[in-house]
Amino acid sequence: MKRPIGIVFSIIIIAAIVIGYQIYNRFRPTVGRVARLRQYLADPDGHSEWMIRVAESCGASPFVAPTEGYIGFFWGDSFYPGHRHQGLDIFGPEGLGSTPVVAVYDGYLTRLPEWRSAVIIRIPDDPLHPGRQIWIYYAHMADAEGNSFIVPDYPPGTYEEFVSSGTLLGYQGNYSADPDNPTGVHLHFSIVKDDGQGQFMNELEIANTLDPSPYLGIEVNADRVGSQPAVCSE
Closest CA to 57 of 123, 112, 105, 90: 105
Helix H, strand E, coil C: the string for the chain is CHHHHHHHHHHHHHHHHHHHHHHHHHHHHHHHHHHHHHHHHHCHHHHHHHEECCCCECCCCCCECCECEEEEECECCCCCCCCCCCCEEEECCCCCCCCEEECCCCEEEEECCCCCCCEEEEECCCCCCCCCCEEEEEECCECCCCCECECCCCCCCEEEEEECCCCEEEECECCCCCCCCCCCCEEEEEEEEECCCCCECCCCCHHHEECCHHHHCCCCECCCCCCCCCCCCC
Q: What is the pLDDT of residue 181?
A: 86
Check residues 10 and 121 and name the one with the higher pLDDT: 121
Query: Superfamily assignment of 2-216 in CATH?
Result: Glucose Permease (Domain IIA) (2.70.70.10)
Q: Is the pLDDT of residue 3 over 60?
A: no
Closest CA to 62 of 230, 219, 212: 212
Q: Is the pLDDT of residue 219 over 90?
A: yes
pLDDT digits (tens, 9 = 90+) for 148-167: 999 999 999 999 999 999 99
pLDDT digits (tens, 9 = 90+) for 88-133: 999 999 999 999 999 999 999 999 999 999 999 999 999 999 999 9
Domain-wise residue ranges, the chain: 2-216
Q: Is the pLDDT of residue 29 over 70?
A: no
Average pLDDT, the chain: 89
Percent of the chain at pLDDT above 70? 85
